[in-house]
């Protein structure tokens, strides 16, 4: 069984109070995008052995990997038993605010549910996903969604049309726990524009830009550079970053903007032309 595990972007991200469980209350509109990892899941007998291989040597392949954690949780919940061979082809960069690990875990749950004919509905899979991580339930529904609570309360939504995107990421990542820990005490940079941007009927904003930009000035510079490009309707940090995404105006050529960004900002930038997607 071969499955795609899409990345996501946060079109809006609002942080509220710190919860008693140590997480922050959030409200975020997320959308899956065409950039995706690929998982191949194969049945390997009636053992409890799970073998994970990955083309990215920096990805841990042990029990801490979210794919293996998802598989173990699925078997524990269903009392099923099966050996698995899982191959993970990584396309989504780490520490990018694109939800790669969370998506891999969610798609593993979906794949095992189909492969082993467990018959768990989306709500049941989302409950399992919430035990793995806050972003994981979002990927169960495979559509744009408004996510609340710590992220586990998912209300599927529909975007008005497809957004054409350009993703830009420098060589470094941003740890999500660190970004949250600095949210309340961080300060706005005087030259930065944190105001909401309205484009394509969507209001784009991200409360985590303040702490992330305060430490990583290059990301602030990259966002402001994108906003000044005539082809760009809006630009925003996705999640805690370090990816900045640009929403492009109709007819814009993403590869030209990417080449310009490498010339004017950083020749080592990772770039990706993609779009929002709906459904499987």
pLDDT band at 60 (very low <50, low <70, confident <90, very high): confident
Q: Provide the pLDDT confidence category of residue 54 given band limits of 50, 70 and 90.
A: very high
Q: d(Cα 53, Cα 42) in Å, to the nearest integer? A: 12
> Which domains, from first to last, does the chain contain?
2-156 (3.30.230.10), 164-275 (3.30.70.890)
pLDDT in tens, 71-97: 999 999 999 989 999 999 999 998 899
Tell me the two tokens of residue 171: 């060589």
Active-site residue flag, 90: no
Please provide residue 96's backbone torsions phi and psi, each rounded to the nearest 5 degrees.
Answer: -110, -5
**What whole-number distance in Å separates Cα of residue 278 and Cα of residue 280?**
7
The string of pLDDT tens digits covering residues 204-259 is 999 999 999 999 999 999 999 999 999 999 999 999 999 999 999 999 999 999 99
Q: Out of 37, 104, 135, 207, which one is annotated catalytic?
A: 135
* Per-residue pLDDT at 248: 98
Place of tokens 């586990």: 152
- Quote the pTM value: 0.94
Q: Choosing from 8, 104, 169, 223, which is the catalytic residue?
A: 8
Which H or E element spans position 245?
strand 244-248
21 is catalytic: no
């Amino acid at each position: 069984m071969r499955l795609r595990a899409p990345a996501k972007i946060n079109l809006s991200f609002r942080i509220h109070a710190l919860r008693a469980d140590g997480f922050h209350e959030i409200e975020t509109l997320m959308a899956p995008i065409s950039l995706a990892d690929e998982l191949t899941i194969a049945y390997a007998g009636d053992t409890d052995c799970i073998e994970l291989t990955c083309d990215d040597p920096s990805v841990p392949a042990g029990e801490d990997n979210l794919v293996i954690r998802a598989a173990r949780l699925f078997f524990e919940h269903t009392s099923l038993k099966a050996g698995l061979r899982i191959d993970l082809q990584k396309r989504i960069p780490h520490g990018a605010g694109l939800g790669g690990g969370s998506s891999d875990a969610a798609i593993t749950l979906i794949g095992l549910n189909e492969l082993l004919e467990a018959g768990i509905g989306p709500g049941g899979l989302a409950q399992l996903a919430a035990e793995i991580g806050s972003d994981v339930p979002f990927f169960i529904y495979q559509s744009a969604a408004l996510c609340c609570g710590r992220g586990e309360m998912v209300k599927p939504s529909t975007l008005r049309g497809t957004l054409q995107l350009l993703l830009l990421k420098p060589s470094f990542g941003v740890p999500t726990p660190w970004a949250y820990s600095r949210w309340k005490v961080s300060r706005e940079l005087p030259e930065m524009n944190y105001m909401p941007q309205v484009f394509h009927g969507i209001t784009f904003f991200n409360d985590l830009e303040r702490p992330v930009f305060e430490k990583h000035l290059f990301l602030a510079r990259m966002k402001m550079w994108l906003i000044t490009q005539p082809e760009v309707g809006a630009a925003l940090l996705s999640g805690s970053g370090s990816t900045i995404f640009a929403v492009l105006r109709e007819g814009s050529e993403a590869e030209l903007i990417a080449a310009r960004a490498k010339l004017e900002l950083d020749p080592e930038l990772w770039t990706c032309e993609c779009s929002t997607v709906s459904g499987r």
